[in-house]
Amino acid sequence: MARSGYGSSLEELAAKIVACRKCPRLVRYREEVARTKRRAFRDEEYWGKPVPGYGDPRAKLLIVGLAPASHGANRTGRMFTGDGPAGAGDTLMRTLHRLGLANIPYSRSRDDRLVLRGTYLTAVVRCAPPGNRPTRGEIAHCLPYLVWELALLRGVRAILALGRVAFSGCLGALEASGVEVSRPRPKFAHGAVYSLGEYTLVASYHPSRQNTQTGRLREEDFLAVVATATELAGLGTIRNGN
């Protein structure tokens, strides 16, 4: 594996990701956000670098988002962490906690003692993009990192893609990994399930504020999709309350 240039372990891959400067626009933006900060976090030191994946190295379920939030993971340095009680990170963590896949129902900082069971969190793009909109070229630059995560996370059987861009990125990563993707190409739809080689790809709306606060994605509907992915991954669920 080491011949790939991305390392033979998740730790080596993480170091490669953190040091990445492939996309000048994203480098400028993430570092500018880290310098100027948001008023609520003005006393904190922002991460301001690409964000590697996080979770159980023996994961059976891989959850893939779009990119770090400017004042969330770009601040904290951990995927789906720090964007507040109404943010995607806490929505996701409440859901994982209810399914017995997370030991706490929130994700606030790298020292909050969060532990994931059988689950690994990552994203198609590793730097916070302006307006949460990466370009096609930026996605292409980041895609090899997702390909290599799939190679290192050998136990993964189900992939949950959060949003249309993540879904497209997952298809690209699977193809680059040698998985045959059927024609016509799978289409994104909330709750759609596709069998692709040794993996099952599950699609969901992203649990962003835009989707949850407008009612496009109710938390119970999100729970149902994550539960489906969990079952397809072969992970037994432990319900932790409502």
pLDDT digits (tens, 9 = 90+) for 84-134: 888 899 999 999 999 999 999 999 999 999 999 999 999 999 999 999 999
Pairing of strands 119-123, 54-55: antiparallel
Cis peptide before 184 (omega within 30 of 0): yes
138 has a pLDDT exceeding 70: yes
154 has a pLDDT exceeding 60: yes
Q: What is the pLDDT of residue 239?
A: 66
Please count the structural domains in the chain.
1
Of 71, 152, 165, whose CA–CA distance to 125 is shortest? 165
Q: From CA 163, how far away is CA 188, in angstroms rounded?
A: 8
Residue 238 in domain: no
Residue 207 in domain: yes
Residue 171 in domain: yes
pLDDT tier at 3, thresholds 50, 70, 90: very low
Residue 74 in domain: yes
Residue 241 in domain: no
How does the average pLDDT of the chain come out, rounded? Answer: 94
Residue 132 in domain: yes
Q: State pTM to two decimals.
A: 0.95
Domain limits at 206?
Answer: 2-233
Residue 30 in domain: yes
Q: What is the pLDDT of residue 236?
A: 77
Contacts of 32 (CB under 8 A, 6+ apart): none
Q: What is the pLDDT of residue 201?
A: 98
The model's pLDDT over 177-229, given as tens digits with 9 standing for 90+, comes to 999 998 899 999 999 999 999 999 999 999 999 999 999 999 999 999 999 99
CATH code for the domain of 39: 3.40.470.10
